[in-house]
Structure 1
Amino acid sequence: LGAVAIAGALEKANVPASLVEYVIMGQVLSAGAGQMPARQAAVAGGIGWDVPSLTINKMCLSGIDAIALADQLIRAGEFDVVVAGGQESMTRAPHLLMNSRSGYKYGDVTVLDHMAYDGLHDVFTDQPMGALTEQRNDVDQFTRAEQDEFAASSHQKAARAWKDGVFADEVVPVKIPQRKGDALE
């Protein structure tokens, strides 16, 4: 997905891939994605092998931090053209068999969900992110009705903006090959 976004962004901005000097991509769930997901996306998106790349994992801020770092590098005069963004495929997050390299003996073995373990579980409090959100809600005292109203309003605004083409310059269609027939878009 990162490659599709990179190629689409370069095309929409009318910037040749040969001008790109650095690539920074945020990705939280990198287990099972192979080495250097940012480089994989860059090369598959048409950027040369000689262009350095960096993958950032800063949880939900990974993509925005990639963009902020790109901005800093450009402002500092290090580079003129930097591709930056975020990429993720939560459906491809594997399950983890921790400590398996030491070997297991008799008894049950725990398999961890990479998405939950590395993406949705706070290592400092040993709690799911949803539980932390609920604790914050208790402090702020938003009622369920207020939360539902805000969520519905947000969804309606997003749907209206999508229908009105507000995101047209920011969205690149993704073609999904089918076993039979044309690809879905």
Structure 2
Amino acid sequence: MILGVYPQTKIFEKFLYLEKINKHMRVYILSAVRTAIGKFGGYFKDINPPELGGIVIQEALKRSGIPSSSVDLVIMGNVLRAGHGQDLARQALLKANLPVTVDGYCIDMVCSSGMMSIINGGQMIKSGDAEVVVVGGMESMSRAAFSISADARWGVKSALHKEFKLTDTMLYDGLTDPANYKLMGQEADMIAKERDVKREELDNVAFESHMRAYKATASGNFKSEVVPVTTSNGEVYQDEGIRKDTSLEKLSKLRPAFGENGLHTAGNSSQISDGASALVLAGESAITKFGVEPIAELKGISWIGTEGWRFPEAPVYAIKKLLSKIGKTVNDIDYFENNEAFAVASVLVHKLLGIPYERLNLFGGAIALGHPIGASGARIVTTLINVLTKNNAEKGIASLCHGTGGATAIYIEKVRGLK
């Protein structure tokens, strides 16, 4: 080795490598859509998750301007997959008429599944392993399976002293903490009491959620993000769970849902729901190749774990971590979307981070719209882009908590916005 030559050669090679992958370093969102959100046993009760997923994947690609043959991968969030067959993301992409050569996989991070699909897809592009990735989430809580114990597989010589109970997989896999078998609503009550949150505060969040969602619907603000779904009862394009006639008085009369002295009710907790959302992500090379214009840029990500029962508080720490990474403060961000799994989640980001309610969940949240758990992470990012567009704003953060204790957060900047 000749001193002075070899190191320079290596540095030059490294420079060429970095220059090569630099084309993939920025991640853009080309399109973002969602279905309307159906109530439990409502609009979509007969539609399996891959069908809902296929609808949004197909529409997201159509709006992106990218040919389906150029998709490298499909990543979809989904939690309640029991009984729906192998690899639901792959099923969904085939229903969307993507080429058989396109592969896909599902993510189960409970409520953060849809958002982690965006994070995963973005990292695929940043690494240079993909140019175009379709991401999102799909969930049919109405069609969640019932199961029996695996002991039944091996036969029962005698039923004496044995019981085989049906387990509701929606409740067990989606809404129960496996560490202590408490319902997530019970844990939401626990953190609300520890943080001295009052019932009135929770009901105020719920009331505002419904009023904002109703106003956004009535004014047509959701039209640019919702793709209609054809059902046996006709075309569905409006969220089913919004209660325009609710009031603080009505909410205050509801009984606690998770314990005699609890704070959360059916009125200030998110709705069990069905729905799907999809976004198309692309790197700079794909933008140039296809001559398409992004609607937003993905500019920051974070995730964090907490004690399981503290899950509603986790977005506070995920947002703090994200703000630190991107070098910004709450005041630098125009609008926030934080999933309303339970009303206490909104109260906590307001109180502990100082996020004004006027800049939080501007078009309502999961209390009014619904919470199809595997899809919500993608849905709130889609809605955030819409909020930024309608309000001529640029910077936004989306966040949500997830079961077992944790949260994810994403920072985006609007480019063109939704049309």
Question: What is the TM-score when the length of structure 2 is the normalising length?
Answer: 0.42
CA contact under 8 A between 1:63 and 1:85: conserved in structure 2?
yes
Runs of 4+ in 1 over 4 A off after TM superposition: none
CA contact under 8 A between 1:12 and 1:169: conserved in structure 2?
no
Match of 1:148 in 2: 203
Deviation, structure 1 residue 78: 1.2
Deviation, structure 1 residue 111: 0.8
User: Quick one: distance in 2 between partners of 1:157 and 1:122?
Assistant: 31
User: Quick one: distance in 2 between partners of 1:124 and 1:35?
Assistant: 27
Match of 2:192 in 1: 137
- Which residue identity does 2:155 align to in structure 1? G
Match of 1:177 in 2: 232
Match of 1:108 in 2: 163
User: Quick one: distance in 1 between partners of 2:68 and 2:210?
Assistant: 35
Match of 1:74 in 2: 125
Gaps of 5+ in 1: none
User: Are 2:213 and 1:158 aligned?
Assistant: yes
Deviation, structure 1 residue 165: 2.8
Pick aligned residue for 2:66 from 15, 19, 22: 15
Q: 1:165–1:74: structure 2 CA closer, same or farther, 3 Å change rule?
A: farther
Q: How many residues align?
A: 181
Q: Which has the higher strand share?
A: 2
Deviation, structure 1 residue 164: 2.5
CA contact under 8 A between 2:75 and 2:135: conserved in structure 1?
yes
Larger mean CA deviation between 61-70 and 96-105 belongs to: 96-105
Deviation, structure 1 residue 14: 2.5
User: Quick one: distance in 2 between partners of 1:165 and 1:77?
Assistant: 39
Tell me, what secondary structure is at the counterpart of 1:121?
coil
- Which residue identity does 1:95 align to in structure 2? F
Gaps of 5+ in 2: 1-51, 237-419
1:28-67 pair list within 5 angstroms: 28-67=79-118
Tell me, what secondary structure is at the counterpart of 2:164?
coil
Deviation, structure 1 residue 41: 0.5
- Which residue identity does 1:36 align to in structure 2? D
CA contact under 8 A between 2:228 and 2:235: conserved in structure 1?
no
- Which residue identity does 1:172 align to in structure 2? V
- Which residue identity does 2:128 align to in structure 1? G
- Which residue identity does 1:65 align to in structure 2? M
User: Quick one: distance in 2 between partners of 1:25 and 1:166?
Assistant: 25
User: Quick one: distance in 2 between partners of 1:52 and 1:31?
Assistant: 21
Match of 1:87 in 2: 138
User: Quick one: distance in 1 between partners of 2:59 and 2:223?
Assistant: 12
CA contact under 8 A between 1:39 and 1:54: conserved in structure 2?
yes
CA contact under 8 A between 1:29 and 1:119: conserved in structure 2?
yes
CA contact under 8 A between 2:54 and 2:93: conserved in structure 1?
yes
Deviations 1:53-79 (A, max 9, x none): 111101000000001111111122211
Could you say which structure has the larger radius of gyration?
2
User: Quick one: distance in 1 between partners of 2:182 and 2:224?
Assistant: 38
Match of 1:117 in 2: 172
Counting aligned pairs with the same residue, the percent is: 37
Tell me, what secondary structure is at the counterpart of 1:85?
strand
User: Quick one: distance in 1 between partners of 2:219 and 2:125?
Assistant: 33
CA contact under 8 A between 2:87 and 2:106: conserved in structure 1?
yes
Tell me, what secondary structure is at the counterpart of 1:18?
helix
CA contact under 8 A between 2:75 and 2:106: conserved in structure 1?
yes
Deviation, structure 1 residue 158: 1.8
CA contact under 8 A between 1:25 and 1:66: conserved in structure 2?
yes
Deviation, structure 1 residue 102: 2.0
Question: What is the TM-score when the length of structure 1 is the normalising length?
Answer: 0.92
Larger mean CA deviation between 6-15 and 57-66 belongs to: 6-15
User: Quick one: distance in 1 between partners of 2:225 and 2:76?
Assistant: 17
CA RMSD of aligned residues (A): 1.3
Tell me, what secondary structure is at the counterpart of 2:230?
coil
- Which residue identity does 1:112 align to in structure 2? T
- Which residue identity does 2:208 align to in structure 1? S
User: Quick one: distance in 2 between partners of 1:139 and 1:160?
Assistant: 34
User: Quick one: distance in 1 between partners of 2:133 and 2:84?
Assistant: 23
